[in-house]
């Protein structure tokens, strides 16, 4: 005989097994209630209930005897026969598992299904007809397969006072924004995408709440953030919230607070106006498609301000925003944008061992032997970076200096290079702004900097000074003075004046090393100008014409020889002259020797 006792003090609610009932071990015999919660009491062994000692409604104490049962001693086959013949048997656990799906689970699955693209056929078809992808398309492409965990999927627009629940579920899924955490190259990343198929991608109160939640997690856990920004600003139709203007929302401050603490990527396709554009502008890098339009106000806001009637396509087209520096990476479509975002985030994973070196001999041919012949320093960047790793930034703006992220022997770096094809490599205000902000970007995220120098100095002249040149170029010195990352300089050809000093973190002895290729030449200013100014008296004593030109050529040759890379190394003004083939090895050793200081504070990155 077996005893079944109460596991706690409780009230008997219901007996599920009557006297004479056959039960299996684990079957529920009765239900108890304590503190408004029901507790199941199960049979300890296969057997038959013989006697019930309490009735429903009775109170029992912990350990009190509830009923008696006798254990079966016959074979399992006989037990099955007994159970099949007894109509009072409790339903076995295996059979209970085959019951119809629970109602609460069905409701959940229906609600979740309403958010999926596969159940929003018309909206998705309209989106695809525009040649654009859905928010969920983009996030699925961004994140490693199966890694995305969505937060806030069941949200709907705060418009229950003017729309039915069914309408909101069907037409405002996730309140127009998909948010969650996934992995990119195995690294945890916060991903957020405004859904332009839901209320035109406007910013509702609940998607603000979702955004704030994700931004808080990103800051607390130091997770990179990727934002797909498309749509407009605030949504006046959200009437459930007792607010007037909604200017107290924390989203913009929370997004800006990530600056310098985690990598932040903004992606724009289609129309990105007002609040969407404000968030986009706080990103470290902006990736945009050629068909995008980015502006602080859309047509309605422009017209409402009395500024005329314009079409969306007239506001901040990609061609304008790429040329003025708003867009860092311009791509053909969202697929390329997402691939570029993955490429960008790959630089924050630490060193890798799987890389391919470019052909080293090609670097010997980058700089022409004719010292006056222009060339493309991007060939040097490609010849130094691991194959396929170079990611140029802001190619359309400040073209006097190229900036890019890259890897050298598996180590992630930021790379700058003067551009002799523009102003002979002279640094103007736009190039200085671009390079200074790039230094801030790399410094904030702990990427060493490699500078490839070929500049006659800062751009000069009345037109140049009208661009506030003095302030803009000085940003290079200030940015370099606050670096916590190693800085490595390679002079490819010209290293003249203050511009060359700015490209070498403030002076030739500021970097971890400053080396030059044999083609390097140096001077306090351009050598031609130095001859004309420094030897004016001597030149004026010679008649103008071939004789004066011959003297000029002779003096210039002397200056070129004196300012040669070999002579500079002799006087220890630079650290070495190297064969271009050795450049990658020099950089790799420098990266091993250089230390990245632990930041004592947040290193801010200018929005510009």
- Say whether both 495 and 551 belong to one domain: no
Q: Which residue has the tokens 């301000």?
A: 305
Which H helix or E strand runs over 126? helix 121-129
Whether 206 maps to a domain, the answer reads yes
Q: What is the mean pLDDT of residues 238-256?
A: 83
- Say whether both 535 and 570 belong to one domain: no
- Say whether both 571 and 550 belong to one domain: no
pLDDT of the residue at 552: 84
Whether 606 maps to a domain, the answer reads no
How many whole angstroms from its chain centre is CA 538?
A: 60
pLDDT of the residue at 98: 56
Q: What is the mean pLDDT of residues 70-94?
A: 53
Among 605, 138, 538, CA closest to 337:
138
In 282-372, which residue ranges form alpha helices assigned H by DSSP? 299-304, 318-323, 334-346
pLDDT of the residue at 129: 94
Q: Whole-model pTM?
A: 0.86
Whether 351 maps to a domain, the answer reads no
Could you report the per-residue pLDDT of 561-602, keeping only the tens digit for each?
888 999 999 999 999 999 999 999 999 999 999 999 998 888
What residue numbers bound the domain in which 22 lies?
A: 2-96
What is the separation, in whole angstroms, between the first and last Cα of the chain?
A: 84
- Say whether both 421 and 368 belong to one domain: yes
What angle, 0 to 180 degrees and rounded to 10, lies between the N-to-C axes of helices 469-481 and 429-444?
Answer: 20
- Say whether both 61 and 6 belong to one domain: yes
In this prediction, residue 73 has a pLDDT band, given cuts at 50, 70 and 90, of low
pLDDT of the residue at 97: 55
Q: Go through the chain and tell me how many residues it has.
A: 608
Whether 201 maps to a domain, the answer reads yes
CATH code, domain with 85? 2.40.50.100
- Say whether both 531 and 514 belong to one domain: no
Q: What is the mean pLDDT of residues 110-132?
A: 91
Cα distance between residue 474 and residue 451, in whole Å:
17
pLDDT of the residue at 69: 86
Give the number of other CB atoms < 10 A from CB of residue 221: 11
- Say whether both 435 and 502 belong to one domain: yes
Tell whether the model's pLDDT for residue 159 goes beyond 80.
yes
- Say whether both 196 and 310 belong to one domain: yes
Question: Phi/psi of residue 451, each to 5°?
Answer: -110, 125
Tell whether the model's pLDDT for residue 398 goes beyond 90.
yes
Q: Which segment, 196-205, 324-333, 520-529, 538-547, is predicted with the most confidence on average?
A: 324-333
Tell whether the model's pLDDT for residue 204 goes beyond 70.
yes
Please state, in angstroms and as integers, the Cα–Cα distance from residue 250 to each residue in 61, 211, 274, following that order.
Answer: 54, 9, 16
Whether 602 maps to a domain, the answer reads no
Mean pLDDT of the chain: 91
Q: What is the mean pLDDT of residues 314-321?
A: 96
In this prediction, residue 300 has a pLDDT band, given cuts at 50, 70 and 90, of confident
- Say whether both 465 and 431 belong to one domain: yes
């Amino acid at each position: 005989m077996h005893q079944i006792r109460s596991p706690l003090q409780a009230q008997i609610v219901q007996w599920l097994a009557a006297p004479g009932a056959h039960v299996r071990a684990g079957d529920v015999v009765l239900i108890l209630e304590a503190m408004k919660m029901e507790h199941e009491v199960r049979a300890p062994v296969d057997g038959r209930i013989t006697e019930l000692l309490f009735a429903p409604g009775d109170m029992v104490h912990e350990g009190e005897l509830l009923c008696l049962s006798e254990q079966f001693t016959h074979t399992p086959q006989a037990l099955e026969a007994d159970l099949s013949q007894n109509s009072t048997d409790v339903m076995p656990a295996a059979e209970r598992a085959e019951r119809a799906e629970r109602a609460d689970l069905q409701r959940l699955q229906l609600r979740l299904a309403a958010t999926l693209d596969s159940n929003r056929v018309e909206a998705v078809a309209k989106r695809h007809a525009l040649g654009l992808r859905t928010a969920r398309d983009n996030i699925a492409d961004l994140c490693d397969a199966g890694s995305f965990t969505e937060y806030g999927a069941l949200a709907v627009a705060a418009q229950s006072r003017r729309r039915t629940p069914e309408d909101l579920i069907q037409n405002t899924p996730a309140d127009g924004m998909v948010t969650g955490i996934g992995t990119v190259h195995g690294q945890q990343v916060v991903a957020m995408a405004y859904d332009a198929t839901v209320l035109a991608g406007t910013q509702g109160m609940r998607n603000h709440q979702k955004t704030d939640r994700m931004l808080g997690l990103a800051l607390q856990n130091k997770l990179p953030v990727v934002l797909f920004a498309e749509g407009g600003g605030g949504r006046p139709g959200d009437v459930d919230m007792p607010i007037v203007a909604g200017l107290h929302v924390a989203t913009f401050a929370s997004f800006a607070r990530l600056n310098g603490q985690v990598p932040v990527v903004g992606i724009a396709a289609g129309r990105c106006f007002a609040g969407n554009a404000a968030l986009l502008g706080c990103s470290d890098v902006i990736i945009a498609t050629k068909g995008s339009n980015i502006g602080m106000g859309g047509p309605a806001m422009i017209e409402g301000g009395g500024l005329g009637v314009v079409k969306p396509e007239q506001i901040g087209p990609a061609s304008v925003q790429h040329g003025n520096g708003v867009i860092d990476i311009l791509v053909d479509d969202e697929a390329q944008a997402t691939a570029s975002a993955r490429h960008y985030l790959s630089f924050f994973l630490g060193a890798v061992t799987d890389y391919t070196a470019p052909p080293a001999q090609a670097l010997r041919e980058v700089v022409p032997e004719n010292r006056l012949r222009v060339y493309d320093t991007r060939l040097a960047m490609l010849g130094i970076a691991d194959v396929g790793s170079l990611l140029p930034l802001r190619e359309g703006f400040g073209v006097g200096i190229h900036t890019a992220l890259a890897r050298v022997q598996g180590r992630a770096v930021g790379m700058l290079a003067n551009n002799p094809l523009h102003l002979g490599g002279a640094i103007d205000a736009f190039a200085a702004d671009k390079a200074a902000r790039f230094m801030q970007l790399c410094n904030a995220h702990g990427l060493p900097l490699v500078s490839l120098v070929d500049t006659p100095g800062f751009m000069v002249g009345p037109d140049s000074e009208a661009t506030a040149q003095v302030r803009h170029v000085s940003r290079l010195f200030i940015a370099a003075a606050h670096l916590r990352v190693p800085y490595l300089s390679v002079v490819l050809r010209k290293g003249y004046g203050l511009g060359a000093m700015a490209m070498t973190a403030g002076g030739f002895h500021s970097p971890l090393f400053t080396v030059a290729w044999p083609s390097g030449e140096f001077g306090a200013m351009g050598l031609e100008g130095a001859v004309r100014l420094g030897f004016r008296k001597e030149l004026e004593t010679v008649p103008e014409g071939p004789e004066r030109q011959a003297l000029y050529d002779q003096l210039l040759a002397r200056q070129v020889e004196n300012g040669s890379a070999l002579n500079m190394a002799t006087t220890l003004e630079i650290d070495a002259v190297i064969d271009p083939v050795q450049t990658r090895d020099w950089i790799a050793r420098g990266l091993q020797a250089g230390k990245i200081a632990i930041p004592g504070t947040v290193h801010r990155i200018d929005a510009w």
